[in-house]
Structure 1
Amino acid sequence: MDFPIIHTNVWDAVTAVPIIIFMTQLIKIFLKVPKKYVPTVALALGLIISVCISHRHSLIAGIFMGGFYGYAAIGSYASLKTTVTSFRNNSRT
């Protein structure tokens, strides 16, 4: 079995990840999604963007890269939240 050749560029990730973070926050606010399901929403959005927009030519490539987009959004949001929380706690003391 041959592995698919995945053609991607940095702009896919640079645009997809912030869009996923933004859309996840909108869904969290307007649809009142419980916090424990927010990472699943981000992963689903990553898969949808990748399969339907970025990698329409290959379902396998779309699923593979969609996982990266979703998990990159989850990690970026968690890192930003931790940094802001730490900064706020340190500035109070």
Structure 2
Amino acid sequence: MELFPTIHTNFWDAVIAIPVVMILTQMLKKILHIKPVWIPTIALIIGLLISIFISHRGNLLAGLFMGWFYGYAAIGSYASLKTTYIAYKQRKAKKT
């Protein structure tokens, strides 16, 4: 018996799953008017659901691990994009 599962990352993991989590989270935020404090939790739940039920069916431990990755990668990517956009706007405002 293996102590840790073999987890294979592929195109789905790197390019599709994380943007899907980001898009679904933003859609839910706009449609349901969710408070900002709950957005990371929702992104994590969406990541777990996608991973467990779609991309890693049949391997719960791999689904949980990769779902955590999907959720937190989406949270970090969103925070990075938002920070970059705010810095760009501030730099542009200083120039004018």
Cα distance in 2 between the residues matched to 1:6 and 1:68: 12
Specify the alignment match of 2:45 in structure 1: 44
Which has the larger displacement, 10-19 or 20-29? 10-19
What is the identity, as a one-letter code, of the residue corresponding to 2:75? I
Structure 1 residue 62: Cα displacement: 0.1
Cα distance in 1 between the residues matched to 2:43 and 2:14: 14
Q: Which runs of 5+ in 1 are unaligned?
A: none
Cα distance in 2 between the residues matched to 1:40 and 1:69: 12
Q: Which runs of 5+ in 2 are unaligned?
A: none
What is the identity, as a one-letter code, of the residue corresponding to 2:11? V
What is the identity, as a one-letter code, of the residue corresponding to 1:50? S
Q: Map of 1:55-74 to 2, 5 A cutoff? A: 55-74=56-75
Specify the alignment match of 2:87 in structure 1: 86
Cα distance in 2 between the residues matched to 1:13 and 1:70: 12
Q: Which runs of 4+ in 1 moved over 6 A?
A: none
Cα distance in 2 between the residues matched to 1:22 and 1:42: 10
Structure ID, larger Rg: 2
Structure 1 residue 57: Cα displacement: 1.8
Specify the alignment match of 1:25 in structure 2: 26
The percentage of aligned residue pairs carrying the same residue is 54
Cα distance in 2 between the residues matched to 1:9 and 1:30: 31
TM-score normalised to structure 2 length: 0.92
